[in-house]
Structure 1
């Protein structure tokens, strides 16, 4: 078994290579936070653990590479925006594979929230349908947070295949947090 220390980040690519028209901008922000020596945010990017996939690659090649990356991951971080509900079949594959095959816990980070103490139906409705069903069926451990550097750093530290030991699947939040600034 591979060493599972990576963070597998999923987001809606919105069918474009223009980063300003896609949720990749949030993934790029994560990488920028990690590369900035002036803060304490670090993460191991699972997407850097295998060969890159070219735009000309087949869908099978892409999915095989994504599966390899998930196998070395300790969690799935899903970036949620207004685009997420309309995610592609690739995002559905990532979610399904991560949870049902690799048994990864999931961190859901909302770009439009500054604090998350309770998970509302409005928040669940922003998730891809496949994840809504998995959450409703309690088939995974899932932590809901805002897309804030300190929240993500704490979640990555606290949440992963080796950190979350309880046997029950369920929904988690940081109920005691009033601010992530």
Structure 2
């Protein structure tokens, strides 16, 4: 059995190699937070636990690598940007494997928000594979803004043995956002 201590990060790459034109910029932000000496942000990146695979690899080779990374993960950060709902291949595949096979919680992180107190209002941002699993209550999801403190908290709090409450519509309360300095008292 795999040692499931990693955090898998999924994002829509928009079929572009330019990271500034896709949600890859947010993935790179996570990596930057991790290496900064003045930061307490820490996680084990599942993408760094296996050999790298080039985007030009055969689809089945990519799927095999992604499955291996997900199988070694305790949770998944799903970066939900402006175009994530349009992804019809990799993000849905990652969500389906994470929820249906690995049974890991999803940390849905939204770059466009500073607080999330009503996640159901964000359903138009969700890829169909996520919406289906939230609606049929198989996905365990915490919805948070793409901010360092909520991500740090969620990554350390939720795993395959500890799911967010809310049957797919989990969120942190107003007090948590006040403590993180993201909303005023």
Give matches, 1:115-130, under 5 Å. Answer: 115-121=115-121, 123-130=122-129
Q: List alignment gaps of at least 5 residues for structure 1.
A: none
Which deviates the most, 169-178 or 28-37?
169-178
Confirm or deny that 1:172 pairs with 2:158.
no
Q: CA deviation at 1:169?
A: 4.0
- State how far apart, in whole Å, the 2-side matches of 1:10 and 1:74 are: 14
Larger % of helix: which?
A: 2
Aligned length: 179
Confirm or deny that 1:72 pairs with 2:59.
no
Inter-CA distance 32–130: structure 2 relative to 1 (3 Å threshold): same
Q: CA deviation at 1:119?
A: 1.3
Verify the 8 A CA contact 1:75 1:105 in the aligned structure 2.
yes
- State how far apart, in whole Å, the 2-side matches of 1:178 and 1:35 are: 25
Confirm or deny that 1:27 pairs with 2:27.
yes
Confirm or deny that 1:141 pairs with 2:140.
yes
Q: List alignment gaps of at least 5 residues for structure 2.
A: none
CA-to-partner distance for each residue in 1:127-150, whole Å, 9 max, x for gaps? 101110110111121100000000
SS of 2:176's equivalent? Answer: coil
Q: CA deviation at 1:177?
A: 2.0
Verify the 8 A CA contact 2:105 2:140 in the aligned structure 1.
yes
Q: CA deviation at 1:125?
A: 1.3
Verify the 8 A CA contact 1:107 1:143 in the aligned structure 2.
yes
Q: CA deviation at 1:64?
A: 0.2
Give matches, 1:15-164, under 5 Å. Answer: 15-121=15-121, 123-164=122-163
| TM-score normalised to structure 1 length | 0.94
SS of 2:3's equivalent? Answer: coil
Equivalence for 1:3:
3
- State how far apart, in whole Å, the 2-side matches of 1:6 and 1:91 are: 18
SS of 1:143's equivalent? Answer: strand
